[in-house]
Amino acid sequence: MRPIRLLPDPILRATCAPVTGDPTALAREMLDAMYAAPGRGLAGPQIGESLRIFVMDASWKDGLPDPRVFVNPEIVAREGRQVNDEACLSIPDTTRRVARAATVTLAFDGPSGRREERFAGFAAACIQHEMDHLDGVLILDHDPAP
C-alpha cells in the first residue's frame, strides 16, 4: 500500500494534470489507502500521483459504505454555505474550521462518459476538500471560519 504524503511534501502544493489513461488500478489503490488511514476522502497527490482523481466514501464510518471515484472532476455549481471542522490525512493532528458551499454539482468522467451529480452536506464539503488537493490547496490555506 502506498504511504500517504505528508506536508511539507511538495506534491501537495502542485496543480494536478488530467487523467488520460485507465484509472482503475490507481482508484483501487487510493480506496485501499483511504480506508486504511482511516479517512473519508483521498486525492491523487496524497499518494504521490499528481493527477486529477480523488476517491471518497463520506458515509462508511457511519456503517453505510459507498466508495466513489471521481476522475477529472470539476465543480460546475455551488449553493449555500456550511462550516465544518475539517481534518486532512496529509496534515495529521490538525483541524481547521472551513466555510464551504452547502451543495455542489460535480462534473466528472465515469465508465460511461462525462456526467454530473449533485452533492449536499458532508459529501459536498468532502468533495470541495479533495478538489482543493487537486489544485495544491490545503485546509491551512483557508482562513479559519467563525
Give residue limits of the domains in the chain: 10-141
| Grid coordinates belonging to 32 | 485501499
Question: What is the reported pLDDT for 11?
Answer: 98
The pLDDT of residue 81 is 98
CB under 8 Å to 109, separation ≥6 — which residues? 19, 71, 72
Contacting residues for 117 by C-beta, under 8 A, at least 6 apart: 105, 106, 108
pLDDT at 15: 98
Taking only the tens of pLDDT, the chain with its 146 residues reads: 999 999 999 999 999 999 999 999 999 999 999 999 999 999 999 999 999 999 999 988 888 889 999 999 999 999 999 999 999 999 999 999 999 999 999 999 988 899 999 999 999 999 999 999 999 999 999 999 98
Q: What is the pLDDT of residue 61?
A: 85
* Selected catalytic residue, list 49, 116, 117, 130: 130
Q: What pLDDT is recorded for position 19? A: 98
Q: What pLDDT, on the 0 to 100 scale, is given for residue 118?
A: 98
* pTM of the complete model: 0.96
One-letter amino acid for residue 43 of the chain: A
> Ramachandran region of residue 113, left (φ > 0), alpha (ψ -120 to 50) or beta?
left
How far is Cα 98 from Cα 141, in angstroms, rounded to an integer? 10
Q: Is 49 a catalytic residue?
A: no
- For the chain, counts of helices (H) and of strands (E): 2, 7
Quick one: 10-141 is in which CATH superfamily? Peptide deformylase (3.90.45.10)
C-alpha to C-alpha distances, 111 to 22, 57, 114, nearest whole angstrom: 10, 18, 8
Q: Is 65 helix (H, G, I), strand (E, B) or coil?
A: coil
